[in-house]
Amino acid sequence: MGDRRAAQRTSGARLVAGAPVRAGVLAVLLAVILMGLLAACDATAGPATATPAASSAAPGEVDAPTAAPSAAAPQTPAPSTAAGADAAGGLLVRTESQAVTAWSAATGEEKRLLATIAQTPQAAWVGDWVDAGVARDQVARLTSAAADSGTTAVLVVYAIPGRDCGLHSAGGVAADAYAAWVEAVAGGIVGHPVVVLEPDALAQLGDCDGQGDRVALLAAAARTLDEAGARVYLDAGHSGWLPVGEAVARIRAVGTAHLAGFALNTSNYQTTADERAYGEQVAAQLDGLGFVVDTSRNGNGSNGEWCNARGRALGEAPRLVDDGTALDALLWVKSPGESDGTCNGGPAAGQWWQEIALELARNAS
């Protein structure tokens, strides 16, 4: 508008200068006209740059982009922010997982069903399928995201020697390398994540060769992770596996000084009610040690099978718990949709199985 106003003033001066006799009258008329034009310009002209409109997104949501994203570019849920932490039970929602990839590629009803998995907080498993340096970096990214967003990350450390007694999830690092592997992983910890330590390791204690001094290995791992800031929950099987007294004895053998508690029902289907009752009995004999329960696939309870059981359902939403009991959290430790192994028609352990993911979500609807 500044240039337009200057042009108007120059034009007016030329008109006045060119009038020989009635210059006074014309000057007055031109002045009146110019004042009117300038007033009109001021009323209609906007500021040089537009002020963006205030965001309409609710706290914790992501504003819609100005331009629609390409249809080929999958949209992933953002990590929980501090404002959205309550909606996620205080837990970090991961943005990279097999569930997120499947949800991003799906359409229609399948996309809706898979969203119930992809957009729910669940644990990230850290194991010997990557080297220790990569594992450390993965842990650093996840725990940093949680610290930045005011949420809690959930990790599973899964590399014990003689893992799964050679069954579907066989593997683990060598006994003489395990302590160093755990130290490397612990080096990536930021803040205070929940760490479920070695699913099945305590319940399978002595069941097969190749375990090394498993009690000592677990004790050292708990100490290393605890000293790095983690809240360590030693996996202790579930209510249908070890009697209460045996679970207590094995946890005591490892030691409780570096444990926040113990974990129950990892990758299994026992009901939350059964696990809570069992957990309270174990905790009562361990000076009130806390416990967490995996509810990822226990919505329909157990049918007696443990490997890719059919007819099951997603369980109760994960969340941190502070209700005066020994229960510290309900968690999705096992990622729903990831296979337990080549059983009941499933692919190799850990691989994505869309069929069972949809079944779990549909049965919970």
Quick one: pLDDT at residue 63? 26
**What percentage of the chain carries pLDDT values higher than 90?**
75
Quick one: pLDDT at residue 50? 31
Q: 3-state SS of 52-114?
A: CCCCCCCCCCCCCCCCCCCCCCCCCCCCCCCCCCHHHCCECCCCCCHHHHHHHHCCHHHHHHH
Instruction: Give the three-class secondary structure for 204.
Output: coil
Calculate the alpha carbon distances from 160 to 74, 121, 294, 328 in Å. 36, 25, 20, 25
Whether 56 has a pLDDT exceeding 90, the answer reads: no
pTM, entire model = 0.78
Give the DSSP H or E segment for 331.
strand 327-331
Residue 12 in tokens: 């007016």
pLDDT, tens digit, 9 for 90 and up, residues 268-300 = 999 999 999 999 999 999 988 999 999 999 999
Residues tagged active-site: 164, 200, 340
Whether 67 has a pLDDT exceeding 60, the answer reads: no
Residue 153 in tokens: 């990350």
Q: In 10 A of CB 41, how many CB atoms?
A: 13
pLDDT, tens digit, 9 for 90 and up, residues 2-42 = 333 333 333 333 223 333 333 343 343 344 344 444 344 33
Confidence label for 70 from pLDDT (cuts 50, 70 and 90): very low
Of 29-38, 54-63, 211-220, 248-257, where does mean pLDDT reach its minimum?
54-63
pLDDT, tens digit, 9 for 90 and up, residues 101-155 = 999 999 999 999 999 999 999 999 999 999 999 999 999 999 999 999 999 999 9
User: CB-based contacts of 334: which residues, under 8 Å, 6+ apart?
Assistant: 123, 266, 267, 294, 296, 297
